[in-house]
A = this chain, B = another copy of it.
Amino acid sequence: MMKQKHCCPPAKAAPRNTSGNEEFATLCKALGHPARVQILQHLIRMDRCVCGQIVEVMPLAQSTVSQHLKILRRSGLIQGEVDGPKSCYCVDKNVLKRFHDMVETLLEEQ
């Protein structure tokens, strides 16, 4: 079998929906840290809020929270927009719903 070093799987015989796997894994990875789960939950409850409000709730430095927000944003789970000198974040419910559907699909596949 073809092997490779330090890189993601190449084309395979029957890769069975690899791109979907990729997106699912990306979303999971974004939620693979308790701080980011907490941030997402907080955003869900508050609907939308500003970075500082999140920092207040978290036992982490502002720069660390900002980093987590960046990761969540990159995954698509949250969106951020500048609001004056502040940054306002909110959950992208479509992406969250899609994530949910992916898990459901997984569950139904058995």
Contact = CB atoms under 8 A, between A and B. Distances in A.
A78 interface: no
B2 A41 contact: no
Interface residues of A, number: 47
Contact of A37 (B3, B25, B31, B99): B25
B9 A22 contact: no
B36 A25 contact: yes
Contacts of A60: 3, 9
B61 A3 contact: yes
A53 interface: no
Interface of A: 1-4, 8-10, 12, 16, 18, 21-22, 24-25, 28-38, 40-41, 44-45, 47, 56, 58-61, 91, 93, 96-97, 99-100, 103-104, 106-107, 109-110
